[in-house]
Amino acid sequence: MQPVLNATVFIVDDDASVRDALAWLLRSRHLPSEVFASGEDFDRFLVEGFVPRDPCCLLLDVRMPGMSGLALFESIVARGLADSLPVIFLTGHGDVPTAVDAVKRGAFDFCEKPFSDNALVDRIEQAIAQSARTLDARRQSRQLQSRLADLTERERDVMRLVVEGLPNKLIADQLDISVRTVEVHRARVFDKMEVKSAVELANLMRSL
What distance, in Å, lies between the first and last C-alpha atoms of the chain?
29
The class (CATH top level) of 150-206 is mainly alpha
Please tell me the distance from the alpha carbon of residue 64 to that of residue 42, in angstroms, as a whole number: 13
User: Which residue ranges make up each domain of the chain?
Assistant: 8-142, 150-206
For the chain, give the percent of residues with pLDDT over 70: 97
Contact 14, 60 (CB under 8 A): no
Residue 199 CB contacts under 8 Å (≥ 6 apart), including other chains = none
Backbone phi and psi for residue 184, each to the nearest 5 degrees, phi listed first: -65, -50
DSSP conformation class of 8? E
Per-residue pLDDT of 63-78, as tens digits, reads 999 999 999 999 999 9
Asked if 107 and 99 touch (Cβ cutoff 8 Å), the reply is yes
User: Is 79:109 a contact under the CB 8 Å cutoff?
Assistant: no
pLDDT at 2 over 60: no
The mean pLDDT of the chain is 92
State mean pLDDT over 40-54: 95
Question: What is the average per-residue pLDDT within 138-165?
Answer: 93
CA atoms within 13 A on the CB side of 156: 8
Q: How many residues does the chain have?
A: 208
Determine the pLDDT at residue 3: 55
For domain 8-142, give the CATH superfamily: Response regulator (3.40.50.2300)
Half-sphere exposure of 103 (CA within 13 A, CB side): 15
Phi, psi of 160 (to 5 degrees): -55, -45
**pLDDT tens-digit series, residues 10-38:** 999 999 999 999 999 999 999 999 999 99
- Spatial neighbors of 20 by CB under 8 A, at least 6 apart, are none
- CB 82 within 8 Å of CB 76: yes
Task: Note the pTM of the prediction, 2 decimals.
Answer: 0.79
The single-letter DSSP state of residue 87 is: E
